C-alpha cells in the first residue's frame, strides 16, 4: 500500500492534488475459476489489499490449491476474517451473498454466461444494497495468432492447432483470428 500511495498525481504550484484509497462500504465477493490458480490469489488478494473484507468462492475443482493460497496469505500475516473462503453449492452461496445488503462488489473470472447472470441478479437486487456494488468481470476471450514472415509454416500450423485444441476444455480463450504471411497462407490452409 505504501507504494500505491506514493503514486500521486502531479500538482501545480499552489495546488495539492492527492489521491486516496478506501475500502468499499461492505464486502467483496471474489469468484475464481478452476483453471488458473494465480487468479485465485489475485482476485481476493487485490480487494483485501485495498482494505476490503472478502468472501471468496473458489471453483469446486480448485479447492486444494485455494487452501494453499489461504495458507500463504496467513503465513504472510493476513489476519483471519479478511479473506473468507467458502465451499459448497455455488448457486446457493452466490444467491445468499447477492441478497445481503452489505454486498459491495464482485471480482469475477469465469464464463460470460455466468457473469451475465450475476450482473442480472445484482441489478435485480440494487434496491436492497447499502451502496452501488462495483462489478468487475473477466470472461471468455477471443485472441489472435500472428505469424512472422520468417515463420516456418509447419511449426506455425502446429502452434495454432495446439493453441486451439490442447487446452480447449480448460481455457476461456478462443483463437478467433489467424494472420500468417502471404508465403505461407496456401500451405497453412492445406494443413
What confidence tens digit (pLDDT) does each residue in 100-158 have? 999 999 999 998 899 999 999 999 999 999 999 999 999 876 666 777 778 787 887 78
Predicted confidence (pLDDT) at residue 175 exceeds the cutoff of 60: no
SS (H, E, C) the chain: CHHHHHCCCCCCCCCCCCCCCCCCCCEEEEECCCCCHHHHHHHHHHHHHCCCEEEEECCHHHHHHHHHHHHHHHHCCCCCCCEEECCCCHHHHHHHHHCCCCEEEEEEECCHHHHHHHHHHHHHCHHHCCCCCEEEEECCEEEEEECCCCCCHHHHHHHHHHHHHCCHHHCCEEEEEEECCHHHHHHHHHC
Q: Which of 82-91, 139-148, 178-187 has the lowest mean pLDDT?
A: 178-187
**Is residue 52 scored above 80 in pLDDT?**
yes
- Residue range(s) of every CATH 3.40.605.10 domain in the chain: 2-10+22-138
Mean pLDDT for all residues in the chain: 86
Write down the pLDDT at residue 21.
83
CATH number of the 2-10+22-138 domain = 3.40.605.10
pTM of the model: 0.74
Amino acid at each position: 500500500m505504501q507504494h500505491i500511495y506514493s503514486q500521486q498525481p502531479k500538482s501545480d504550484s499552489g495546488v495539492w492534488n492527492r489521491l486516496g484509497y478506501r475500502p468499499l462500504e461492505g464486502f467483496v465477493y471474489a469468484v475464481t475459476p478452476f483453471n488458473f490458480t494465480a487468479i485465485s490469489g489475485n482476485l481476493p488478494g487485490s480487494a483485501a489489499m485495498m482494505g476490503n473484507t472478502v468472501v471468496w468462492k473458489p471453483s469446486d475443482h480448485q479447492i486444494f490449491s485455494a487452501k494453499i493460497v489461504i495458507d500463504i496469505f496467513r503465513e504472510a500475516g493476513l489476519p483471519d476474517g479478511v479473506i473468507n473462503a467458502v465451499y459448497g453449492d455455488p448457486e446457493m452461496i452466490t444467491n445468499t451473498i447477492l441478497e445481503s445488503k452489505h454486498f459491495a462488489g464482485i471480482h469475477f473470472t469465469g464464463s460470460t454466461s455466468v457473469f451475465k447472470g450475476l450482473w442480472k441478479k445484482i441489478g435485480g437486487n440494487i434496491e436492497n444494497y447499502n451502496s452501488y456494488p462495483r462489478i468487475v468481470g473477466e470472461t471468455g476471450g477471443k485472441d489472435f495468432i500472428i505469424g512472422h514472415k520468417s515463420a516456418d509454416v509447419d511449426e506455425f500450423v502446429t502452434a495454432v492447432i495446439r493453441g486451439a485444441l490442447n487446452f480447449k476444455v480448460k481455457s476461456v480463450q478462443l483463437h478467433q483470428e489467424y494472420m500468417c504471411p502471404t508465403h505461407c497462407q496456401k500451405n497453412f490452409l492445406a494443413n
